[in-house]
Structure 1
């Protein structure tokens, strides 16, 4: 993987760059649609490329490990051939899923024992097994195995968790160095900065991860319950320490406002389930604000979903029609809303990139966060 930092704003830390992988180039800042099971829910690959303008998608190691399993993925020739998506793929390590399984998992220095959410079967994730699984999946960008503590974790717990994550990280890179890609293209491994909301722990982690000379770095453990201003403080702190010539990936974040605030502070990569999950429940993110399409007020509104005309859905369907589909329980409502929301997120980071390059980002961002946070 290669990262070319093309421009940094003069009045803030916002950056524009380009990531090059064997499956294609990725302009940054970038948003990655979440394809948990190697599928972005309700959206065809054709529409991801042509309408959403997605350049990279995220898949989940935990879910693909359980189903369909690494044997099927290897026999298929990796996740790209298995799914039919020929662009870059990033896999998270399963660390957040381990966090989510708090009632059915046990952490030890060895790794994490957990019960499958599908059938209750018992499994063990270790740093070594996770790297092996990500090799089998065949992602272009792999995440190191970590623990994601809750946002309100007490200091002692957060410190112990960070120590465990760092020990696991050493083992991840050792295994990574002893193994090779399986499908004829390169794979890279990002370490994850943890430390909850404690500045000294975040500083320690951001300094620790740099010893591995990784081609990119992730920031995890945010947007898990802490106040947004605290999240922004941690992002600013960590990005002030991480190398400037490597991409920074903020995991699992977030709202459009969160994304613009993080771009201002130097983040390059994002993912979140919000565009598709909220879309399936009738929430639309638009260039003018947030729409709950199920509300009565849209019953006879024949205007486009978004006046900016971001994708096919915005130019061919009205708010009234989409509301009708949602109220009627038609599957197409979720598809249209998901495609629109994803297109909006990709438009947002693309417009941010354009503004960074022409020098108008900060003023534009200040105007946009006011609009994006309001409910229409």
Structure 2
């Protein structure tokens, strides 16, 4: 369990196509994981996720710990049975949410005290508790507790977070005992190359079955994120999966793959979809714009998602203006389908030896910002 094998690699970039074995099945990489924060991917049912080809989803330890609680989910038979999903699930450690959502938090070497955003109660999250929660949730992949720092962050503060992240990873590994559940370490280090390398080297020595890359896509320029990935590529174990946390913007996915990343997750496609923004091969469209009032074509010609096969831009715009729930569902379906098919095309290009050409053509076509039809 937990075997990761690389089937093909790009000779001129770090891109690779692999297969990760988990308790609930195999995951072909590179892969994008839809985010199911509250044990549900917003606006999507499990059978719909399967219909678009989602192989693995992410759920959030912080939110599930606060509500309904890991004991309730454990009594239900684990997260898979609780939410009706029989494919792989990755759970994060809750660390990012503690540091980003909680107004009051106190960090020390033992763990972090935080105030619930739900009822204001104080909780003490330790590496051991983070592991225990995820073991009760029963995910296929669990993540070590790490200390997340904001951007920008000074070098001294980041160094302290790296030290704790390494120490907490060792404690997580010692506490972890659930058979068949993979525990990934998380590399921190903000935008400081030496800290990134140091953290990656220390965690590599601990021999985790996979490695998350945290603390990126938090406001830094894309170029800096790519520089950090370039620093980590030769340091992280080549035969272990690499997971870039919180990244889901299409150009970032392509560039992450080019730098050896195998797994991605992000709320972006579902959040944008709920607010009327959709991905196309040319960039983003805001379907609520008046230009679509009499546009009776699909979101994107050639797309095979349910929305594009059945309804028009004009209809979806009408749904948004009428505040109908179906609008969010259709756009979310399309966005997740778009990313799923994008990653399938990326994988095929790697296997066929055409990734460089694919990358070039994608970057020439996809434009940042919102586009007009």
Residue in structure 1 matched with residue 48 of structure 2 by the alignment: 47
In structure 2, do the counterparts of structure 1 residues 339 and 166 end up closer, same or farther at CA, with 3 Å as the change threshold?
same
Q: Which moved more, 1:359-368 or 1:97-106?
A: 97-106
Kindly report which structure 2 residues correspond to 1:236-247, keeping only aligned pairs within 5 A, or say none: 236-247=230-241
Contact 2:102 2:115 (C-alpha < 8 Å) held by counterparts: no
- Confirm whether residue 70 of structure 1 aligns to residue 70 of structure 2: yes
User: Paired residue for 2:218?
Assistant: 224
Q: Distance in 1 between matches of 2:101 and 2:295?
A: 43
Tell me if 1:106 matches 2:106: yes
Q: Which SS does the other structure have where 2:129 is aligned?
A: helix
Alignment partner, residue 202 of structure 2: 208
Which structure 2 residues correspond to residues 3-152 of structure 1 after superposition, within 5 A?
A: 3-50=4-51, 52-101=52-101, 103-152=103-152
SS in 1 for 2:301: coil
Task: Give the whole-Å Cα distance in 1 for the aligned partners of 2:95 and 2:302.
Answer: 37
**Aligned residue pairs, count:** 369
User: What whole-Å deviation, never above 9, does each CA across 1:321-360 have from its counterpart, x for those lacking one?
Assistant: 1111111111000000001000001111110001111111
Structure 1: 5+ residue stretches without partners: none
Deviations 1:159-217 (A, max 9, x none): 111111111111111101xx334xxxx10100000000000000101101011211111
Partner secondary structure for residue 86 of structure 1: coil
The 8 Å contact of residues 113 and 123 in structure 1, kept in 2 or not, is answered as yes
CA distance in 1, matches of 2:200, 2:24: 29
- Say whether the 8 Å CA contact 1:355–1:364 is kept in structure 2: yes
CA contact (8 A) 1:257 1:373 kept: no
- Report if aligned partners of 2:248, 2:269 keep a CA contact under 8 Å in 1: no
Q: Deviation of residue 78 (structure 1)?
A: 0.5
Cα shift at 1:227 = 0.8
- For normalisation by structure 1, the TM-score amounts to 0.96
Q: Measure, in 1, the Cα distance between the counterparts of 2:311 and 2:53.
A: 19
Aligned counterparts of 1:141 and 1:164: Cα–Cα separation in 2: 22
Q: Is residue 2:296 matched to residue 1:302?
A: yes
Alignment partners' CA distance in 1, 2:302 and 2:225 = 30
8 Å contact kept, 2:103–2:115:
no
Structure 1 residue 367: deviation in Å?
1.6
Residues 223 and 254 of structure 1 are in contact (CA less than 8 Å); yes or no, is this contact kept in structure 2? no
1:142 CA drift (Å): 0.3
Q: Is the 8 A contact 2:282 2:367 kept in 1?
A: no
1:369 Cα deviation after fit: 2.0
Q: Residues 62 and 97 of structure 1 are in contact (CA less than 8 Å); yes or no, is this contact kept in structure 2? A: yes
Q: Among residues 172, 178, 184, which one is paired with 1:180 in the alignment?
A: 178
Is contact 2:32-2:248 (8 Å) kept?
Answer: no
RMSD: 1.0
Map 1:233-312 onto structure 2 (within 5 A): 233-312=227-306
